[in-house]
Amino acid sequence: MKSKNETSRRDFIKLGGTATLGLSTLHLTGCKEGETENVAKSASNQKGNRRFPDDFVWGTATAAYQVEGAVKEDGRGMSIWDTYSEIPGKIKNNDTGEVACDMYHRYKEDVQLMKSIHAGAYRFSISWPRVFPEGMGTPNPKGLDFYDRLIDELLANGITPYATLYHWDLPQTLQDKYGGWQSKETSKAFAAYAAYVTEKISDRVKHYFTLNEFYSFTDLSYGQGQLAPGLKLPQKGIVQVRHNAVLAHGMAVEAMRQSAKSPLEIGVAENIVTAVPVMDTRENIEAAKNATRELNAGLLTVMLEGKYTDKYLNSLGSDAPEFTDEELKLIGSPLDFVGINVYLANKYVLAADNEDGYELLPHAKHHPTMASPWHLISPESLYWAPRLVKELWNAKEIYITENGCGATDEMTNDGKIIDTDRVMFMKNYLTQLHRATSEGIPVKGYFHWSLMDNFEWIFGYGIRFGLFYMDYETLERTPKQSAAYFKNIAKSNTLI
Ligand code: NOJ
């Protein structure tokens, strides 16, 4: 059963609601046209150099199932998220992505939203079941048509597209047929899909992320049963799922380079387990570095080194994954950049006189959090994550593929969303990012999660991550205070 709100949202869509953008979109709170230059000047009057590198990319990010809606249109197949969100009780309020932000129909207005906040890049994901309704076999041309339209619209507005090929919406057929990521057949199907998409869009899209947040769609989805398909496999099963996922990445990198019509830049978008030295001493920094390598051993480390660490394999014993040397070589295929989603310090680290050389400290009971209980506030993660990626793996280019926070934003009677919590979050995290770029750590860009409030997986629409507020009844988008803050920074390329 759908709620009353759902019904009225659909009626609104039937009315064909196109431009729901009010004028307010272009005149953000505290950020009228022409004011940004002054902001930049006053920022440069502040002590120290607050500019980011000249070619720094400021973008926003979303993912197909979270924003597109139109799940049954133009021949799209079912994904595991359609199935999962239909099971009563799995998603807060039994919300689904059926309508989401209706971006499938409103992408033109949404590109204008990006433009209005001076975002120069957009990270979006391609829905695999739109392009291959059964995951493999015959493609559905209408599926890719949507992304063609979106890409053309972005380019016409001076916004660089960055495509993610997998953001968790696995075609249901592959789950039914092969058990999804439990089988290497799914890895192969992913590589074929990735190559097909690349062939079609590489004339216009240069930057690609293969898969998004491996830990989430492997461990949390097949091990802890929290995300679709909601399985609780024993350790051996989970470890193999992880391996099949990184294998899909490696196979796709090779296949994409072969099918591309022009040179590509390929990386991942991984939620790195971020280890932060509890105090910045030389010993603790070394400890955090070693911890980072081991904490990411089954995912990012193997993709960047082409081998599992001894410690990882030894600790798994007979539960170790089944793999070949040839697979490892593929998994370690050279990348053009490393993309990391950074939200928090997963672990604080202290150097220790033990076998590992480090100790992982528990977070204090009252460590402050943002609105999501998991979101421990730790701005310094946005400095340490890229720094340690650079030091450990000599990454030539790094992107922050996601950073942002959830909040319970509310609209005031006069139509404003004063999200001081998000502005505080951004100020502090971006200060640490600036620390990184000013030390020469090669961070090339930052994608704020998210452009607008959207379907936050099992939390449904109950928590909001956007720079734009979504009225889920009318689908009207309204800029929040944080949108003005983002615009000031992006336009001036300066930390405000
Ligand atoms: C990680 C995921 O990639 C994205 O889909 C999610 O909405 C955000 N982080 C916020 O939790």
Domains of the chain: 58-492 (3.20.20.80)
The pair of structure tokens assigned to 272 is: 């790195």
Q: Residues lining ligand 1, judged by CB closer than 6 Å?
A: 63, 66, 212-213, 341, 402, 449, 456, 465
CA dist 159 → 21, 53, 54, 57, 125 (Å):
19, 18, 17, 10, 15
CB 64 within 8 Å of CB 130? yes
Q: Judge whether residue 323 has pLDDT over 80.
A: yes
Residue 196: pLDDT band (50, 70, 90) is: very high
Q: Judge whether residue 258 has pLDDT over 60.
A: yes
**Per-residue confidence (pLDDT) for residue 254, from 0 to 100:** 98
Q: State the number of CA atoms in the 13 A half-sphere of 416 facing the CB.
A: 11
456 CA: nearest ligand 1 atom:
7
404 CA: nearest ligand 1 atom:
10
For atom 2 of ligand 1, which residue has the closest CA? 213
* Residues β-bridged to residue 479: 468
pLDDT in tens, 55-107: 999 999 999 999 999 999 999 999 999 999 999 999 999 999 999 999 999 99
Residue 48: pLDDT band (50, 70, 90) is: confident
One-character DSSP codes across 363-427: PPTT--B-SSTT-B--TTHHHHHHHHHHHHH--S-EEEEEE---B-----TTS----HHHHHHHH
Q: For the chain, how big is the Rg over CA atoms in Å?
A: 22
212 CA: nearest ligand 1 atom:
3
CA of 465 to the centre of ligand 1 (A): 9
- Chain centroid offset of residue 157 CA: 23
CA of 402 to the centre of ligand 1 (A): 8
pLDDT in tens, 369-384: 999 999 999 999 999 9
CA of 281 to the centre of ligand 1 (A): 32
Residue 129: pLDDT band (50, 70, 90) is: very high
Secondary structure letter of residue 264 according to DSSP: -
**Per-residue confidence (pLDDT) for residue 3, from 0 to 100:** 36
Probe residue for ligand 1, chosen from 213, 370, 400 as the CB with the greatest number of ligand atoms within 8 Å: 213
pLDDT in tens, 452-481: 999 999 999 999 999 999 999 999 999 999
**Per-residue confidence (pLDDT) for residue 289, from 0 to 100:** 98
Q: Judge whether residue 45 has pLDDT over 90.
A: no
Residue 22: pLDDT band (50, 70, 90) is: very low
Probe residue for ligand 1, chosen from 124, 448, 457 as the CB with the greatest number of ligand atoms within 8 Å: 457
CB 27 within 8 Å of CB 487? no
457 CA: nearest ligand 1 atom:
7
**Per-residue confidence (pLDDT) for residue 471, from 0 to 100:** 98
Higher pLDDT, 4 or 469: 469
**Per-residue confidence (pLDDT) for residue 81, from 0 to 100:** 99
Higher pLDDT, 396 or 33: 396
CA of 406 to the centre of ligand 1 (A): 10
Q: Judge whether residue 218 has pLDDT over 80.
A: yes
CA of 100 to the centre of ligand 1 (A): 15
**What does the pLDDT average to over 403-424?**
98
Residue 443: pLDDT band (50, 70, 90) is: very high
For atom 6 of ligand 1, which residue has the closest CA? 456
Q: Judge whether residue 16 has pLDDT over 90.
A: no
Q: Judge whether residue 338 has pLDDT over 70.
A: yes
pTM of structure? 0.93
63 CA: nearest ligand 1 atom:
5
Task: Tell me what percent of the residues of the chain surpass a pLDDT of 90.
Answer: 90
The pair of structure tokens assigned to 274 is: 């971020």
Higher pLDDT, 495 or 41: 495
For atom 11 of ligand 1, which residue has the closest CA? 456
Secondary structure letter of residue 338 according to DSSP: E
Probe residue for ligand 1, chosen from 168, 274, 456 as the CB with the greatest number of ligand atoms within 8 Å: 456
**Per-residue confidence (pLDDT) for residue 123, from 0 to 100:** 99
What residues are annotated to the active site? 213, 402
**Per-residue confidence (pLDDT) for residue 466, from 0 to 100:** 99
CA of 49 to the centre of ligand 1 (A): 32
CA of 55 to the centre of ligand 1 (A): 26
Q: Judge whether residue 386 has pLDDT over 70.
A: yes
3-class SS letters over 57-121: EEEEECCHHHHCCCCCCCCCCCEHHHHHHCCCCCCHHHCCCCCCCCHHHHHHHHHHHHHHCCCCE
Probe residue for ligand 1, chosen from 209, 465, 467, 470 as the CB with the greatest number of ligand atoms within 8 Å: 465
Helices 103-116 and 141-156 pack at an angle, to 10 degrees, of 20
For atom 7 of ligand 1, which residue has the closest CA? 456
Residue 269: pLDDT band (50, 70, 90) is: very high
Query: What is the overall mean pLDDT for the chain?
Result: 93
269 CA: nearest ligand 1 atom:
3
* Residues β-bridged to residue 58: 446
CA of 462 to the centre of ligand 1 (A): 14
